[in-house]
Amino acid sequence: MSLLKFILVLFPALVFCQPNCSVYKDSLCEKACKIAVNAEQYQGHKYSQMDFDKAIKLCPNFDYAYREKSVPYLKRGDFITWKKIIDKAVEINPNDNLGYRGWCKYQFLRDYRGALTDLEALEKINKYNIGYSQNGDYHLKIVIALCYKSLGNRKKAISLIKTQLSIKDYTPQNYDFLHLGVLYLETGDVKEAIKSLKKELTIDDYLAETYYYLALAYKKENNLSLFKENLFKAQDFYKKGYVMKDNYTHPLDKIYLPQIENLLK
């Protein structure tokens, strides 16, 4: 495995680090921190939830305990309970929790307006770098763009993604150019779509989606040879499992095998 791939595998775990309990001068909060950090290791078990409650009782403004306590409810689909708990974490510490709540609204709830509210509020607090999604797949600026796309404002989405990609020290993530290419395709700019999708291949050549959307672009140009070539490539990659993946939800612009097979017919 290359160093880059190794970093990408580890990256999701680096988005939210466990707190350093030694920084708490209040002995009760330091104790609460240690309890919560230990409880996070068996998150989802009832005893873990009980320990988060102990931590919160010892240190009522310890936002980490609220956030981690909320996670099992999110994963089980109890979004009402999740929101009640995560809202408390955001209230205590918006800088560290708005991005997470906004991402979850986007990823799990498809609440694009709610996600925008959180992420744009975070932009006002942190003007330099609002961070990455919890799963490590996206910079949150790209998530903002995808929210605008999902709400029908594709031109703004394109502008936001291009702005993020133009930042000198920004490293494009695996799906950035894929989403940009699809946006261009949806707005009728086929040449820019092909340009962006080819750029995606230089970053990540392991997605059936990229070849599928390239095929659609070439079809619009009446280039049937490249249309078929890319579609067969998409089919081959899909059967090998080279596709957009998420452990919990359906990623935006993800495709499925019947879409490819219907075009091949």
Domain extent listing, the chain: 16-92, 101-173, 176-264
| For the chain, percent of residues with pLDDT exceeding 90 | 84
Region 105-117 average pLDDT? 97
pLDDT at residue 96 greater than cutoff 70: yes
Q: How confident is the model at residue 63, as a pLDDT? A: 96
Tell me how far apart the alpha carbons of residues 57 and 41 are, in angstroms, rounded to a whole number. 20
Q: How confident is the model at residue 14, as a pLDDT? A: 36
Is the pLDDT higher at 25 or at 237?
237
Q: Does domain 16-92 have CATH number 1.25.40.10?
A: yes
pLDDT at residue 5 greater than cutoff 60: no
Q: What is the DSSP string of 158-218?
A: HHHHHHHHTSTT----TTHHHHHHHHHHHTT-HHHHHHHHHHHHHH----HHHHHHHHHHH
Is the pLDDT higher at 19 or at 65?
65
pLDDT at residue 205 greater than cutoff 50: yes
Structure-block tokens of residue 174: 């695996």
Question: 219-258 b/e with 16+ CB inside 10 Å = b?
Answer: beeeeeeebeebbebbbebbeeebbbeeeeeebbbbbeee
- For all residues of the chain together, what is the average pLDDT? 92
Residues 6 or more apart whose CB falls under 8 angstroms from that of 18 comprise 37, 40, 64
From start to end of 49-93, where are the E strands? none
- 3: Cα within 13 Å, side-chain hemisphere: 0
pLDDT confidence bin for 21, thresholds 50/70/90: confident
pTM for this structure? 0.90
Q: Collapsing DSSP states into helix, strand and coil, what is residue 30?
A: helix
pLDDT at residue 50 greater than cutoff 70: yes
| For the chain, percent of residues with pLDDT exceeding 70 | 94
Other CB atoms within 10 A of residue 120 CB = 14
Q: Class of the 176-264 domain?
A: mainly alpha
pLDDT confidence bin for 10, thresholds 50/70/90: very low
pLDDT confidence bin for 136, thresholds 50/70/90: very high
pLDDT at residue 104 greater than cutoff 70: yes
Query: Do the domains 16-92 and 176-264 sit in the same CATH topology, yes or no?
Result: yes
